[in-house]
Structure 1
Amino acid sequence: MKTLLWLFLLPGDMVRRKLGITIEQDGGLIRSFINMCFWGAITLLAALKFYV
């Protein structure tokens, strides 16, 4: 389960690290936004492929 959670949070965590922001400074905002955009785009592409 930890691996799945790590994989889910990876895109936002990578961006947070690239920007040099610590977890305490971030408060989850940057990571949540990036993860929402990344996984939303993946889901949208999958939906368009299978349902259109």
Structure 2
Amino acid sequence: MKTLLWLFLLPGDMVRQKLGITVEEDGGLIRSFINMCVWGAVTLMIALKFYG
């Protein structure tokens, strides 16, 4: 389960680290926004492939 959670949060964590922002400074905002964009795009691509 920890691996799945780590994979889900990976895109946001990578961006946060590249920007040099700590977890305390971020408060989850950057990570949440990036994860929402990445996983939303992945879901959209899958939906368009099967239902488009």
Identity across matched positions, percent: 85
Alignment of 1:1-52 (within 5 A): 1-52=1-52
Q: RMSD across aligned C-alpha pairs, in angstroms? A: 0.2
Question: Which blocks of at least 5 consecutive residues in structure 1 are unaligned?
Answer: none
Question: Which blocks of at least 5 consecutive residues in structure 2 are unaligned?
Answer: none
Deviations 1:12-39 (A, max 9, x none): 0000000000000000000000000000
Per the normalisation by structure 1, the TM-score is: 0.99
Per the normalisation by structure 2, the TM-score is: 0.99
Give me the whole-angstrom Cα distance separating, in 2, the residues matched to 1:4 and 1:50. 24
Q: Which amino acid aligns with 1:15?
A: V
